[in-house]
Amino acid sequence: MTIRTPRRRALDRDADLVALSGVAEAINESPDIATLLSRTLEIVLRVTALDAGCAHRLDEEEEALYLSAQLNLSERARELVQRFELGEGVIGRAAVLGETIAVTDVASDRRVARRELVNERVGALVATPLVGRGGVRGVLTLFCHAARRFAENELRLLTTVGRQVGLALEHAQLFEEIRSAQREWERTFDALTDGVSIHAPSGRIRRANRSLAALFGTVPEALIGRRCCEIYHDSPKPREDCTIMRTVTERCAQVVELGDRLRGRVLRLTTDPIIAPDGRITGVVCVTRDVTDEKLLERRLIQQERTSAIGEIAAGIAHEVGTPLNIISANIEYLLRDEALAERADELRAISEQTQNIAALVQRLLDFARDPSPQLVAVDLNALIERTMALLAPQFHRSRIEARLELAPYISVIDGDPAQLQQVLFNILNNARQAMEALPPGRTRQLTVATDSVLVAAAPLGVPHVVVKISDTGPGIPATALPHVFKPFFTANKDGGTGLGLAISHRIVQRHAGSLTIEKSDHRGTTVCIRLPIAHS
């Protein structure tokens, strides 16, 4: 038994304090687990004067210990201690028992699993578990080149170091798990296709994902700190019905749809309050989705349902009204031949004209409801325009309208249905005629039809196309009516009208993969623009 003198005990205590102080310093300074274990090994080896060492971390799922750091071990020794099962050898046993185990002679101790270590200049070893509050986190093992006994103070020091490092290792692992979870959350947050933002109760954005930033053509960092009213309404001040404030006040989810006129889209916002354990509202989660296509599809479905209903009504009207109209028309024709009623001829002709108007309305309803697919053939639009204008020439003459054609020569051929396209021209030209008939005397009444070819893939169609522009010098369409002119049954004609002409024309042009727009409309007149794709050669 070795007798320790007071001087020896004092020196041992000083060494212990130096070791513990160094380990504490390493714990405070080390940014990661691998550095912490390497620094601990270096300090302990310096204080204990041992030759080499290694540290293993516990994988709880696999119940195995993996080498995480080493100092002064040969390459072969590193291979031998790379992994231990729990309970295997001295290192695995120390982890299971939670106790420091010393081996004075590796060559003869049966607890040593890898006796080949003797060939790597390992004569003795001591393994101490790294114990945290939740249990063993790993094992710290020190080696001596020759067989030797370990003093009690050395074992106590290593046990203390093991607990100290075990706690630090536990905290580091927890921090690593939190950081890993945070990174995973951030990846998920940015991977969401919907725009997601987290707001303070005041509405200021604390966090925004990439999808939300993309909706507004920016980056997430540029949204942080801005108020929701700034990005959704381009206003520095929240609205009275602010969704965020309503979510905070009512403490429940809200759903609202906003029209983004600047970008021509509809955004659906869903907000949910973030409620702390003490009941306070600490923030609001806002999910933003671009539902423009959904709303467009919804409107189309509604329009299809209306069209179907119109079809049924039109068919009923045609059946119920058609026969009486034919009888009335036949009787009027008979009465007009009666010389005794010659003085009533004007009244009879007026009745006949109104009867024909009713029949025309029924026919328009049927045409709108049927919506037949176009029968495509090669169409020369210049020739079609000239034929249509010739048919309408008598009406223009009676209305004192000067008609001008500015047709580009050698215009490209299109694929189209001549009858349907002529119907479009009839509708637009008749609208122009009726508008100019309402002008006061002395105002210029001029109608111009111009054509041109766009041979590049230009907007708005994105393909080569033909352009037809029909301009009049009428009073124009009121600004309030412009957004509705292509809706069925809407008319800006003060003298009345069916409101189906432009709706039918718009649908026909769409069926031809083209566009029909009002290019200009003011008190000096209106210009309607038709664009139709050039035929594929």
What would the pLDDT profile of 279-322 be if each residue is shown by its tens digit? 899 999 999 988 888 877 777 767 666 666 666 666 666 667 77
Confidence of residue 516 (pLDDT cuts 50, 70, 90): very high
Strands (E) located in 145-203: 195-199
State residue 493's pLDDT score: 62
Ranges 140-154, 171-185, 300-314, 447-461: which has the least confidence: 300-314
Residues 121 and 29 reside in one and the same domain:
yes
191: region left, alpha or beta (phi > 0 left; psi from -120 to 50 alpha): alpha
Whether 186 is in a domain gets the answer: no
Same domain, residue pair 120 and 258: no
- Looking up tokens 């600490």, which residue turns up? 282
Distance CA 100, CA 123 (A): 18
pLDDT at position 186: 75
Does one domain contain both 280 and 326?
A: no
**Domain containing 122: what range?**
6-180
Examine the domain organization and report whether 523 and 459 are in the same domain: yes
Q: Predicted confidence band at 530 (pLDDT cuts at 50, 70, 90)? A: very high
d(CA 76, CA 338): 127
pLDDT of residue 479: 83
HSE of 8 in the Cβ direction (CA atoms, 13 Å)? 7
383 and 509 part of one domain: yes
For the ranges 141-145, 189-193, 242-246, the lowest mean pLDDT is seen at: 189-193
Whole-number Å distance between alpha carbons of 263 and 515: 20
Among 58-62, 361-365, 421-425, which is the least confidently predicted range? 361-365
Q: Is the same domain home to 67 and 126?
A: yes
pLDDT tens column, 369-420 = 666 678 888 999 999 999 999 888 888 988 899 999 999 988 889 999 888 8
Element (H, E) at 304: helix 292-336
**H-only helix segments in 371-514:** 381-398, 418-437, 501-511
Asked which of 290, 311, 327 is the last residue of a domain, the reply is: 290
Instruction: Say if 389 falls within a structural domain.
Output: yes
Three-state helix/strand/coil letters over 71-87: ECCCHHHHHHCCEEECC
272 and 386: one domain?
A: no
pLDDT per residue as tens digits for the range 319-338? 677 778 778 878 888 787 87
Span 482-512, pLDDT tens digits: 887 877 666 666 555 556 678 888 888 988 8
Per-residue model confidence (pLDDT) at position 318: 66
Q: In 337-380, where does DSSP find H-type helix?
A: 345-370
Distance CA 20, CA 30 (A): 15
| Model confidence, pTM | 0.43
CA-based nearest residue to 313, from 369, 373, 372? 369
Mean pLDDT over 243-262 rounds to 86
In a domain, 230, yes or no: yes
How does residue 28 score in pLDDT terms, banded at 50, 70 and 90?
Answer: low
Among residues 347, 370, 393, which one ends one of the domains? 370
Residue 2 has pLDDT above 60, yes or no: no
- CA torsion through residues 48, 113, 135, 151, sign: negative
Q: What is the pLDDT of residues 170-203, one digit of tens each?
A: 877 777 777 777 778 778 778 788 889 999 998 8
Closest CA to 350 of 361, 365, 336, 339: 336
What's the farthest any 2 CA atoms get from each other in the chain? 154
Beta bridge partners of 56: 67, 139
